[in-house]
Structure 1
Amino acid sequence: MGDWETAKFIFDKHPNLVRFNLSKNFGTTLHVVVTAEETELTLNFVKNLVNMMTREELELKNNHSNTAFWVASASGKKKMAKIMIEKNRSLLDIRGNGDYLPLTISAMNGIHNMVKYLYKNSKKMTGDHWTYKDRSLRLSHCVKRDFFAVALQILDDHPELAQDVSLLEVLARKPDVFKTLENNLITRIIVTKMGNTGFIIELLRTYPDLMLDRNEDGHTIFHIAVMNRHQGIYNLLYEIGSYRNSVCKIRDKGWNNMLHLVGKSSKKMAAKRSGASLLMQRELLWFMEVEAMTPPYLREAKNKDGETPHELFSKENEDQVSQGLNWTQDCMVVATLIITVAFAVAFTVPGGYKGDNGLPFFIHQRSLLVFVVNDAISLFSSSTSLLVFLSVLTSRHGQQDFMYSLPKKLMIGLLALFISVATMMVTFSASFFVLYHDELKWLPILIAVSATLPVLVFAVLQLPLWVDMSRSMYDSRYLFKPKKRMLYATKLRLHANSFHS
């Protein structure tokens, strides 16, 4: 493809062929040529062919409703597209398949150089043919493809697109966005709902006035951070000076202040923690933190429903108190069974007792000593576990007890229960070593190895809960008031790069 001399000989004899479809799918000769690779020959062919065509002929569409310019835009043929729009700039405004404009389809296909070129020549997406949906779709695809320079330019030209929800969702799912950004590319989209702390930091550095901007519900980015429990974003309140008081005074359309929102959104957090007790502890921690941040006169302020923050929090979390204790009953059943077994085994040692002195037959076997000691440990630890869980159930527990007292008891009870299960398996295995120490030595080894399975299963299933409890107990104190300043004390990670064609 690209033999212009032959094509010119044919077109000179039959000029109308430039507007005829060569096939059902491809369209005119120009439609076919723009699908080829851009080489010196094909570019020369397109240039000469376009010179032979009228402006109207350049606007001809194939059976897929696409102009040749639209096809070139979709496939990234920038030089070919440039030749065509030099003769007819209206090609930029003609829609093709899917009702997409050339600029939109190039963004959807992720062709960066084409997107920049077309945007520069589209008069910044102005004109009656450009709808809000067109601009929003174009911006969304630029963000998806990491074309942040173009996205910033669009937002500068059309700031109303910054409130687009679909765009927020796209960018919010890019937590590593600043690792790939170059050239000081800060886009103005609030991604607080997804917890993109790095983005919010760069956003506020560039547009500090956005700290006080509200959405349609009357919430700032800090209110949204509280509702979604993103402490990284919330902690920025400690770095904004006098703005902090202004933010904390803001009330939404329902007259809810920031402290109200902690209780109002508690139920949404239920699925994010391993148990109700842990959820209650974390919710209390958030309530106490935001309460300390809230001006005193707002701590007892009522919303439109006539509820104070504390009343709303108590109502939203009343089920958590009972749910946080229900699962301890199952643990008590297990501990009781182990106590029963361990107590009975203590008086039925392997091999029985001697009739003359009442001592065990295998008293001199080390495995019998292992049996007795581990049985005792199993009995004591299961008893400890039972008593701990019993104290949890029988004592009166308010919401404040979920901060430290109750999680500490649950940790002790779970640890004691695990020890009792592990030592019970050791006791069971040791009994076979006592009985088969002379013959069938492979049998106790096989049973001992098999006995590790339930211990491992118990550990694997309970370890996440235990770790969550431990972290809630000891890491929670570091959630707020970070020592390291993030907003203004750290070095900017983005560098400038101009928007070129």
Structure 2
Amino acid sequence: MEYYDHHETPLLLAAANGIIEIVQQIVHVYPQAVDYVTVNQRNVLHVAIAHRQKQVFKWIQNHRLIMTRLVTRIDALGFTALHHVGITKFYPGGYHGPALQLQHELKWYERVQSQIPPLYNMHHNKMKWTARDFFYKTLEKMLDDAKQWLKKTSESCSVVAVLVATVVFAAAYTVPGGLNTKTGSPVLLTEPIYIVFTVMDIIALATALTSVVLFLSILTSSFKMEEFLHTLPMKLSIGFQLLFFSVTSTTMAFALTIVLTMKSEEMKWTMSLLYMATFFPVTMFIIIQLPLYVELVKNIWSYRSNVFKFLPRGFLALFWKLPSKLLRYRKFV
């Protein structure tokens, strides 16, 4: 459905383009300007929601009197403020991958819905659609694109993770320097670098296998619209981070192997070139996948406040009470 409209007033034009300073100044000088509407009876809140102008929406949200005044208005097509979330003509884009774009749209729907009176959630427009029905209808193509992109990404990452796990698993049995024929222990066991090599190898194997599990859980999911809000993007974000750590740990383990097996003062420059060549794949991986990597890091960071919700309450209570019990025990001792 196309969203044809004209913005007759400077306030509506500023709201559509996200110029928050002009919006604030106009409302400050002439508060009655918030009642101005377009030819289709759309107010400044409708325009801000349809154009995805978060700053304008947040400013209206912080002014409860204005929000209360505008949130119950319905335009000429029977659209509530929540219906305008389904208008995707002005979607700004800028997100790496259809799955993250869909997640952004779902978050925007939830944010607007939190400000709408519950009664208006069931309001039907002139096409007999509720806001949720209209939203799902307009995002059908984005949902299909998100499914295909997420499946292909998970399959590709799973293949890489399995290859990394295979390499580091084999490296655990073909240790650098070989084994002592009498004791069966590694020859370089007393070297401090060998301990670091072992730790890197274990980290690479653990992170690679864990990422495989997460990517397989994505491939076996039902790919419902609601799952793209939290579940699937979180699995993708964590799985991609673990895959990145496994590749980095594998590269570091390879570099440590070179250090252990090629110790020589005469090969100093050769060693330096080998170190640079070792970290070249990781550097290229970061450069090529940087946009996606940044988006996924932001995605994980957005869930930081929900981490403790996944833990049992009894465990959290024990965790908080344990320090006080230790302090009491020390006093008695």
Counterpart selection for 1:440 from 267, 289, 302: 267
Shift of 1:391: 1.5
> What is the 5 A alignment of 1:41-440?
163=8, 190-265=13-88, 268-269=90-91, 271-318=93-140, 319-320=142-143, 321-323=146-148, 325-326=150-151, 327-438=153-264, 440=267
Larger Cα-atom Rg: 1
Kindly tell me: are residues 257 and 364 of structure 1, through their superposed partners in 2, closer, same or farther at Cα, counting changes over 3 Å? same
Q: Tell me the equivalent position of 2:330.
A: none
Query: By how many angstroms is 1:258 displaced?
Result: 1.4
Using the TM superposition, give the Cα deviation of residue 316 of structure 1 relative to its aligned residue in structure 2, in angstroms.
Answer: 2.5
Distance 1:323 1:270 in 2: 22
Q: Please, which runs of 5 or more residues in structure 2 have no aligned partner?
A: 1-6, 306-333
SS of corresponding position for 2:27? helix
Question: 1:187-216, CA deviations, whole angstroms, 9 ceiling, x for partnerless residues?
Answer: 767222221111111011122222121223
Q: What is the CA–CA distance in structure 2 between the aligned matches of 1:270 and 1:206, rounded to whole Å? A: 30
TM-score when normalising by structure 2: 0.77
CA distance in 2, matches of 1:401, 1:305: 27
CA offsets 1:128-170 (integer angstroms, 9 cap, x no match): xxxxxxxxxxxxxxxxxxxxxxxxxxxxxxxxxx938xxxxxx
Q: Within 1, Cα distance between the matches of 2:211 and 2:244?
A: 9
| 1:273 counterpart letter in structure 2 | Y
The one-letter amino acid paired with 1:279 is: Q
| TM-score with structure 1 setting the length | 0.53
Structure 1 residue 415, shift from structure 2 partner: 1.7
| Distance in 1 (alpha carbons) for counterparts of 2:296 and 2:267 | 45
- State whether residues 270 and 279 of structure 1, in contact with CA within 8 Å, keep that contact through their aligned partners in structure 2: no
Q: 1:375 to 1:470 in 2, by over 3 A?
A: closer
Query: Quick one: higher RCO (CA 8 Å, sep 6+), 1 or 2?
Result: 2
Q: Which amino acid aligns with 2:251?
A: M
CA contact (8 A) 1:381 1:419 kept: yes
1:459 alignment counterpart: 286
In structure 2, C-alpha distance between the alignment counterparts of 1:443 and 1:474, rounded to whole Å: 41
Partner SS state of residue 299, structure 1: helix
Tell me, in whole angstroms, the C-alpha distance in 1 between the residues paired with 2:191 and 2:23: 68
Q: CA contact under 8 A between 1:277 and 1:323: conserved in structure 2?
A: no
Residues in 2 aligned to 1:428 and 1:307: alpha-carbon distance in whole angstroms: 59
Q: What's the CA shift string for 1:219-241, capped at 9, x where partnerless?
A: 22221110121121112333555
Query: By how many angstroms is 1:463 displaced?
Result: 4.5
Which amino acid is the alignment partner of residue 224 of structure 2? G
State the alpha-carbon separation in 2 of the partners of residues 220 and 316 from structure 1.
22
- Give the residue type in structure 1 aligned to 2:136: S
Does the residue aligned with 2:267 lie in a helix, a strand or coil? coil
Q: What CA distance in whole angstroms lies between the structure 2 residues aligned with 1:349 and 1:239?
A: 62
CA distance in 2, matches of 1:269, 1:448: 45
Structure with a larger share of its residues in helix? 2
Q: Is the 8 A contact 2:83 2:131 kept in 1?
A: yes
The separation in 1 between residues aligned to 2:78 and 2:112, in whole angstroms, is: 17
One-letter amino acid of the structure 1 residue matched with residue 32 of structure 2: D
Cα distance change, pair 359–234 in 1 and its aligned pair in 2 (3 A): same
